[in-house]
Amino acid sequence: MDSILRYLAEAYFHQDWRYDHSTSKSLMESFVKCETEDTVHELYSCLLALRETDNLPQSFINDIGGSFRPESEGMSSYQWIDMSLSLLLSDNDESTNKLG
């Protein structure tokens, strides 16, 4: 997997992430606020490519060092990626608006 995804897993989806965030959506919103525009864009590109993977397991974040399974929030891996892409894209839209 891409290094940006490993970074997300290890830095954000660490063992105690639920002490800071009640949901993965809240965590991803924090990622968007805390990281640079380039980092957000890099994760967006990575998740977009991952979205094309056949049979993506629920454990894909755990498998690279994180502590999260989308099914714990009632989502498939693909639904979680779609939710995350939407959040990352909304940040890109806001950045574009700020620059325009």
- Chain segment 53-63, per-residue pLDDT in tens: 999 999 999 99
Contact (CB, 8 A) for 80 and 86: no
* Positive/negative CA dihedral, 88, 91, 95, 100: positive
In this predicted structure, what is the pLDDT of residue 92? Answer: 57
- The domain of 78 spans 3-99
Q: What is the pTM of this model?
A: 0.86
Q: What is the mean pLDDT of residues 92-96?
A: 52
Contacts of 21 (CB under 8 A, 6+ apart): 27, 30
Average pLDDT, the chain: 90
In this predicted structure, what is the pLDDT of residue 90? Answer: 84
When divided into structural domains, the chain yields a total of 1
